[in-house]
Chains A and B, each alone.
Chain A
Amino acid sequence: MRHSITSDDIRAPEMAKAIESCVHCGFCLAACPTYASLGEEMNSPRGRIVLMKNVLEARLPAAEAQEYIDRCLGCMACVPACPSGVAYGDLLVSYRAMQEKQRQRPPLDAIARRLIRETLPYPRRFRLAARAGKLGAALGAALPAPFAAMLNLLPGSLPPAMPLPPLLPAQGEKRGKVAILLGCVQQALAPNINYAAAQVLAANGIEVHIPPRQSCCGSILLHVGAEADARELARRNFQAMPADVDAIITTAAGCGSGIDDYALLFKGQPDSAEAADFSQKVLDFSAYLAAVGLRAPLGFSQERRVVYQDACHLLHAQGLQREPRTLLRQIPNLRLLPIADAGMCCGSAGTYNIDQPAIAAELGGRKAESILAAAPDAVVSGNIGCITQLRQQFTSRGEALPVLHIAELLQQAYSHSAASS
């Protein structure tokens, strides 16, 4: 599309490039969860591109477009669907960061945002806030919808913290050396994921480092437009992570794709090269392990029927479709079941559950139904957001279907095999 963007934002060239390459063909509509749900152009990828273009051209006040931009899940399903190669992620992330600086939110919303900014990145504080939230859950109905959504996502009680040692030696012949980026929300909600990941890696002959001084990757902060804070957190990790590892492993899809956005986050910063090096090193757990291959023995004594739930930030943002499935297919006695609309977002998407509870609930419901239709014994995903969303969906339907992180399932497969041999 032709445009006349005059914005002097530092990322205006990236935004302009994305807009330019859009030919408005509409192929993205089929992939977009909000379009599937609402059926309106302004709630579609190409519609949002038009809106952002008009705002950047100063033809439309940002406030008028905001509701539709906010509704975007950032699931990036439109990116692989786009034949023109529009870098929608670059546009959206840059635009949101730019707008966030200028926007005035309604008071209650602002409180919720502050809560996100000041708690989510810090596992300890988050644990505290979650406990406080549990107290508030009794008052659920009296609270505004976004709050209620946030509280609903929290489990009845937080699991105990599972501290990891700074170094887990490789078992057997050493095949590699990695560091684990623990992340924030996930470490509070489900510390077992990183624990399982570290065990599985070690069992596969990988030396695992878990630097204690690391921090949140900053991705959530970038999402809500707090760029400087996001960079500050990222820089802590540049310092904390050892340089001589094969890869920096993340078990949270959002961290992986968020770190891919460092090029935008650090544009024009003196340490942009360091940021690029760092983000190049970051790999999702499933991608790394699929590349090195699983070591025997592992597996289940009886058939386990498993649905793999694609996290948008793995499937669309990082292109990881085959890798997790390759891992699962290597597990003896595991049957991988296909589901309808596998590529469609479950509605979790970062802080979306908090910002857009109604659409998130609808998408979560659709996903739960298509999974249940396959009648699995367990659901596996690579992202804490999906896991939390699906658990809540199944609980509200009275279904006791376990939802696990792929690292947890692998851990089970190893311990099961050890127990039975």
Chain B
Amino acid sequence: MKNAHPLLQALEALYPPERLLTRDAQLLTYESDALTAFHSKPAAAVIPISEAEVIETVRLCHQLAVPFVARGSGTSLSGGSLPIADGLLVALNRLNRIKSIDPEQRIAVVEPGVVNLHITHAAAPYGLYYAPDPSSQSICTIGGNIAFNSGGAHCLKYGMTSNHVLGMKVVLADGAVTEFGSDSLDGCGVGPDLIGLFVGSEGLFGIALEITVRLLPQPERYRTLLAAYDDLGKAGDAVSRVVASGMLPGAIEIMDRLAIQAAEAAVQAGYPDAEALLIVELEGEAPQVEAEFAQLQAMMRASGAFELRSARDEAERARIWKGRKGAFSAVGRLSPDYIVQDGVVPRSRLGEALTRIKALKTKHQLEVANVFHAGDGNLHPLILYDGRQPGALEKAEALAGEILALCIKLGGSITGEHGVGMEKRDYMPAMFSEQELDIMQALRRAIDPKEIANRGKMFPSGEAPALQQRGMHPLERQGVISRE
């Protein structure tokens, strides 16, 4: 897209110069999201400050068939907000108004650029909060959460982003504007659940302009227990005990030694020195939580934990979670590069998955730090490598591929909450049949005939620049997928 490109000319009429970014120094900083293995420079970036500007921008892109990517804070771990080379980037950060909060009906109406945690801050005076808590909640935006149906440590009980959206106004990829859902807790209620379809569509359908979210009352009591184990398998078994007990904790998390070390170095969370750490958090009405907590402690003691610690106050609880939530980035202290995986396995096969991952890392001679939402069976192996070493990235990718193949084989998924984005698009054929992918493509084309919204993401062999990949795909080598 040269300066003389009609889109740029039209954008100049729509945006003042300070909100139409075209200079190298500006665009360079938008080249990557939180997955820096990919980078790609857009032709321009715009910073709309009104719904009307977003709609008009999308219409122009459709009219001129220029691909666009909508972006919030660029915290995607799957390359989901990677710009399209020579396409347009729409940065929604200044559409960041919380339009209204109705504490009585427990709903808030927000713009897409509102930061996740800011909703909780705004709701806190009423004793309410916004439940989905991705680790990046202090900065990630609701728009991005919608695109990727973001989860978090506390999704076991109350679900992911999709479960907290009641209504939306969106502009589809061709500029058509539509609204669905309602202010009722029943959301769409009558007619197909379009919220469920739109949330998690990875920006391929259009851009959310206004979102009605539900708020939850802050639990009266939290009880957070840290259990330390000398063996990862024991921690996994302890999870099965919790689940079998009939308790429904707010969060069940496991970290292995390497992850503990990284988190400890980053935030001094006060984690014990252990092979594995299990964090179980109960939340709810005090009499219920206290009764369950006593039961939980006894259960954890019986599970072979060599040390139990419970948070004595809110500050201690915050520190425990800060360590957990900073664990990914903290791995930056251990290694210049890493790949985060996001596979899901049936919970009962967690132990098996961990044992196999251990064998795989030995086979590939790579370090892997494990952090996972054990309650959901959602694994986050972090594969450490040094990108400056020739062949290191390929080795890490090969291991990542084997881990994903393992997740599928165990009956799980290639992604629990980070989405497919750029990173896992080539693994889609391993999880879905050709027909299923065809249906999804047909759906996408019915909504975005010119395939301009976040082009290149989710579907295999898109046009956006890929991670340098030479030779066969790791899954091809294992015979899981083939391109005939």
Contacts and interface: CB of A to CB of B under 8 A. Distances in A.
Contact of B96 (A26, A27, A39): A39
Interface of A: 1-2, 20-27, 29-30, 39-42, 44, 46-47, 50-51, 54, 60, 64-65, 67-68, 82-86
B40 to A, nearest CB: 14
A64 B34 CA distance: 24
Interface in B335-389: 336-338, 387-388
Contacts of B136: 25-27
Given A23-B328, A26-B33, 12 more contacts: A2-B388, A21-B332, A22-B332, A30-B115, A40-B29, A40-B91, A41-B29, A46-B29, A65-B25, A84-B333, A85-B265, A85-B266
B74 A23 contact: no
A132 to B, nearest CB: 36
A21 B29 CA distance: 17
Contacts of A67: 25
A141 to B, nearest CB: 25
Interface string B316-332: 00000000001111111
User: Chain B interface residue count: which class?
Assistant: 35 or more
A68 B25 contact: yes
Contacts of A44: 29
Interface in B242-266: 265-266
Nearest to A28: B139
Nearest to B322: A83
A362 B388 CA distance: 43
Contact of A42 (B29, B96, B117, B333): B29
B30 interface: yes
A142 B287 CA distance: 69
A83 B324 CA distance: 11
Contact of A27 (B24, B326, B387, B388): B326
Contacts of A26: 33-34, 73-75, 136, 139-140
9 contacts: A21-B336, A22-B332, A23-B36, A23-B328, A25-B75, A26-B34, A29-B139, A68-B25, A84-B330
A54 B266 CA distance: 27
Contact of A41 (B24, B74, B265): B74
A30 B138 contact: yes
B26 interface: yes
B23 interface: yes
Closest 7 CB pairs of A and B: A84-B332, A83-B326, A83-B329, A47-B29, A41-B29, A23-B332, A64-B25
Interface string B117-131: 100000000000000
B28 interface: yes
A349 B91 CA distance: 29
A51 B326 contact: no
Nearest to A2: B387
Interface in B75-110: 75, 91, 93-94, 96
B34 A24 contact: yes
Contacts, number: 108
B336 A20 contact: yes
A86 B266 CA distance: 10
A57 to B, nearest CB: 11
B417 interface: no
A23 B267 CA distance: 16
A29 B71 CA distance: 15
A29 B73 contact: yes
B25 A60 contact: yes
B115 A25 contact: no
Given A27-B139, A40-B47, A42-B29, A64 B23 contact: yes
Contacts of A21: 332-333, 336
Nearest to B36: A24
A18 B367 CA distance: 22
Contact of B329 (A30, A65, A84): A84
B354 to A, nearest CB: 24
A68 B336 CA distance: 26
Contact of B31 (A22, A29, A50, A65): A50
A215 B455 CA distance: 61
Contacts of B328: 23, 25, 83
B148 to A, nearest CB: 14
B47 A51 contact: no
Nearest to A63: B25
B32 interface: yes
B95 to A, nearest CB: 10
A54 B28 CA distance: 9
Contacts of B267: 83
Contacts of B117: 30
Nearest to A81: B138
Contact of A84 (B23, B73, B75, B266): B266
Contacts of B139: 26-27, 29-30
A82 B266 CA distance: 8
A50 B93 contact: no
Interface in B384-419: 387-388
Contacts of B28: 42, 50-51, 54, 60
Contacts of A50: 28-29, 31
| Residue from A22, A29, A41 having most chain B Cβ neighbours under 10 A | A41
Nearest to A32: B139
A26 B136 CA distance: 8
B177 to A, nearest CB: 24
- Candidate in A30, A51, A83, A84 with the most chain B CB atoms within 10 angstroms: A83
A82 B329 contact: yes
A83 B266 contact: yes
B25 A51 contact: yes
A25 B338 CA distance: 12
